[in-house]
Amino acid sequence: MTSNYVLSVIADEQDKLLFKSLLATFGDRGDNQWTYQEHSPASDVIVVDFELHAQKLPLRDAKAGHVVVAYSTQTPANSPTPFMISKPVRGRDFVKLLERLEDILKADDEDEFAKTQRRIVF
């Protein structure tokens, strides 16, 4: 059964284009399909440039249980999310992030680790 996930990015236009390109290259992952969408309540994952847009958190009207990924040159102090991808983003790191996110998003409600991760991430 195919799982479809929506990723949004809150960053400058150049970074948005980079993530769109990465999704075009790596978003078809067999049973997991990733698409890009401008920020909407339907987003499963929202990548936020913590250097420019951290003040926008928590996001209003966001889907319950969505996952926020910090996008920054260094690990943010007191980050509200366990997910991070470093600037400049590399394909290998992006694929690893998608794998981790798929594990959390697919996890059964009986999975205590996944439930904890969802509670942490807004």
Chain mean pLDDT for the chain: 81
Averaged pLDDT for residues 104-111 = 69
Name the residue with higher pLDDT: 76 or 48.
Answer: 48
Confidence at 40, pLDDT banded by 50, 70, 90: confident
Are 44 and 8 a contacting pair, CB within 8 Å?
A: no
Greatest alpha-carbon pair distance for the chain in Å reads: 39
Q: What is the mean pLDDT of residues 62-68?
A: 67
Q: Who wins on pLDDT, 50 or 114?
A: 50
What pLDDT score does 18 carry? 96
Q: Read out DSSP for 50-76?
A: HHHHGGGPSPTTPPTT-EEEEEESSPP
In Å, what is the CA distance from 115 to each residue of 48, 68, 88, 106? 22, 15, 30, 11
pLDDT of residue 2: 85
Superfamily of segment(s) 3-120: Response regulator (3.40.50.2300)
* Strand, coil or helix: 36: strand
pTM for the structure as a whole: 0.80
Most confident by average pLDDT, 4-8, 53-57, 81-85: 4-8
- Quick one: average pLDDT of 85-114? 83
